[in-house]
Amino acid sequence: MSVRDCKTRRVIAHVESITLKDCLFKVSEKGRQRVLRERQKNVHAGVEGEWVADTKVPPGNRIIYDPYRFSSFVSEKTGQPYKQAPLALITPAGAFIGPETSQST
């Protein structure tokens, strides 16, 4: 995964996984519509937050995004949309937030 600086938008690192605090789950609707129209992947969704070193997030709720099924990131368990979380572990398998984190829409 690529890590970009929010101010410069430049890639500053490539990581296998990353822990972020004060997370915002963002989806570009225009980019999503392009995926639906062209049936081809493009980067149009991501998680924004402050990089936190060596913080473990207890597995609890997996947050996923599928542009063909959802217009936002959602809880895999409940299907409820998520727009933010205090802490998340981002991996290629999805974003994981602790079980005590309440949904924020």
Q: Is residue 6 part of a domain?
A: no
What range defines the domain where residue 81 resides? 16-97
Q: Is residue 10 part of a domain?
A: no
Q: Is residue 92 part of a domain?
A: yes
pLDDT tens for 70-102 read: 999 999 999 999 999 998 998 888 889 875 554
The pTM for the full model equals 0.80
Number of domains in the chain: 1
Q: Is residue 29 part of a domain?
A: yes
pLDDT tens for 10-68 read: 999 999 888 898 999 999 999 999 999 998 888 888 899 999 886 676 667 899 999 99
Q: Is residue 105 part of a domain?
A: no
Could you give the CA distance from residue 85 to residue 97 in angstroms, rounded to a whole number? 7
Closest CA to 17 of 44, 45, 56, 43: 56
Question: Residue 90's CB: how many other CB atoms inside 10 A?
Answer: 21
Q: Is residue 3 part of a domain?
A: no
